[in-house]
Chains A and B, each alone.
Chain A
């Protein structure tokens, strides 16, 4: 396709992305290498309905001059990236020097907010992504084998976990898993432990979140695979049947290779979405046991005082993390792309 035609086809889409994604990313990069100005403080007496207290305020006049001189704040290079709330270079160094076993070192690491979030996030990605893909594929194969009249309702029901607003979906599940809730009590009687609580311990909270993650994103994998199954070429299938291939062999050698590009696509999207997991952590009140990277951004931005620079640095680290995770998938896409150019 000539460059000109290509440009006009892609222009509207590109413009929207440049304005609303590329520009903000640019400003996030700038923010992440700056800190706020020094704030000049002044001691004052505060009066209110509950009496008088001595307090401090930011001296607006003195601070204004600083703000006007440097509207972006103080340039600090990579300081924010290396401070305790992010990569914590200094603290990690100390921990390395002070501990003599890997276990003790990891313990010290888990005490630093960024690493705690990173470890949970990576575990979440590693556990949830493959399970989602497998479950989605299995459901798609199962639904595809159903008689026609059952397909419609089954597809609708299979999409439900994705359609119910996560905000309330997670809330209802949260209550069902509560100690006296229907699923919580069921688990208690299954395990024979009447004090079992899914919320009190870290491992159980993690497992709950993993289960919720698979449950809520399996429909995505399912519908993509299901659509893909409708395009499976019939000739090789029939040839395989004539050769006496079992159903499993047909799936293994004909259907799965046909679905491979879709798997790459699903893996790509799921890796990315799982790396940014946020809603379930909030709805399950799991910030203590299972903070994710997106949750630390959320708590920076939604705290009493918004920490824009810190949130910007964590966001950039998230993007870098996603890029590293996606590298294998990207290399594959690159090969496919070049192969396609070949013909």
Chain B
């Protein structure tokens, strides 16, 4: 057992993580601290939590993994003592906890128990370590080699290439709607705007304030580009969430797509799709746009954070359990489940797109206290423009007005 573990690490090409096998050999005894974990319900998080639960304690050891975790986390951690000692969050969902001051600074715990964590895993806000990241995700390019060849175009490297390739495929009569992206009204559409806007090098807010600054030339360009992409999509595009876009891809109904990297495993497996689709699908880094050199995407991480309203003993036990959970040994069993941010991880073909986007210098999703408000405003107000019912100027003015209303209500603006 221990032998395979060590060989696994060797094959992985990394020797530095000898601490991994070592920690495992020591087991994981937490004394009498309580560990209560709240998180989302999917494969990779299940694996992490299963490992964390291997630890032994004379206290409580429970977990609640649910798709509704975002809606209960603030209330659950506000209670004193907190209902959960650990919350598994992403860069978006950490912000509401930070805004309310519900996150415990982890500096002391990292010093004491986190020697094996790589410095890149530590999420710092100012001087405080607020979370430990263990996996990454991003939207990036998916393309169909066979169809691009048939239309005689090269694999695209910029969004402009994507649009040109899409038009070539349409003109060649191969497909009427060759492009697909997550453009459902709401969160998804807002996210597409964010990706593109950052690709153009835009600034969401006036530096240091909550004053929104998207109603400008960059905002207009972003909208025009999104419209050009939507014109290559199926007319139902405003209902396309991640489930719909995966299904479209698996059915072979699209040649180019901007999809979530985490969906790659499912798209490339032998279920739900023909061999022609799976063998010809290539995952590549997110394209750049408008002559810029930043990929037009945002990087996301998933990580864990410890509740401020938990006793020191519980916090220490919880931290140790979670560090055990994301120990590099997890790669032996769950390497395929995610793009891991733990030492020794070698990107699999499925992780290629996320890895390339990160290497290309993509921007992380901004952890600003009021970013969520702008995201919601974008998602709700851009639909009319995307359907051609209103001008780009009007759409941006609407977003600005909707955001300002919400931010005033939340006390970020006067």
Contacts and interface: CB of A to CB of B under 8 A. Distances in A.
Contacts of B244: 285
B378 to A, nearest CB: 11
A310 B409 CA distance: 8
A57 B208 CA distance: 9
A310 to B, nearest CB: 6
B270 interface: no
Interface stretch (B11-19, B33-41, B234-242, B323-331): B234-242
Contacts of B71: 301-302, 306
Contacts of A197: 234-236
B208 A49 contact: no
A56 B236 contact: no
A45 B95 CA distance: 15
Contact of A48 (B101, B133, B387): B133
B368 A56 contact: yes
Contacts, number: 175
Contact of B96 (A41, A54, A74, A305): A305
A37 interface: yes
Among B370, B387, B406, which residue has the most Cβ atoms of chain A within 10 A?
Answer: B406
Contacts of A291: 380
Given A56-B208, A285-B185, A285-B239, A85 B411 contact: no
B369 A44 contact: no
B120 to A, nearest CB: 5
Given A85-B406, A179-B236, A288 B299 contact: no
B384 A305 contact: no
Interface string A42-68: 111111111101111110100110000
B408 interface: yes
B322 interface: no
Contact of A58 (B93, B98, B238): B98
A305 B374 CA distance: 10
B193 interface: no
A305 B373 contact: yes
A39 B125 contact: no
Contacts of A309: 409
A36 interface: yes
Contacts of A49: 120-121, 123, 133, 136, 299, 301, 341, 364
Contact of A111 (B122, B235, B358, B398): B398
B217 to A, nearest CB: 23
A228 interface: no
B341 A307 contact: no
Given A199-B239, A200-B236, A46 B367 contact: yes
Given A55-B366, A288-B387, A304-B375, A113 B402 contact: yes
B284 interface: no
A306 B373 contact: no
A39 B101 CA distance: 12
B376 interface: yes
Nearest to A303: B376
B414 interface: yes
Contact of B299 (A50, A57, A287): A50
Nearest to B358: A50
Interface string B382-395: 01100100100010
Contacts of B364: 48-51, 53
A60 B91 CA distance: 19
Given A44-B126, A49-B121, A305 B409 contact: no
B168 to A, nearest CB: 22
Given A47-B123, A49-B121, A288-B387, 11 more contacts: A41-B412, A44-B126, A48-B364, A55-B367, A58-B99, A85-B405, A179-B234, A284-B239, A291-B380, A304-B371, A304-B376
4 cross-chain pairs, A with B, having the tightest CB-CB distances, nearest first: A304-B372, A44-B126, A288-B185, A288-B383
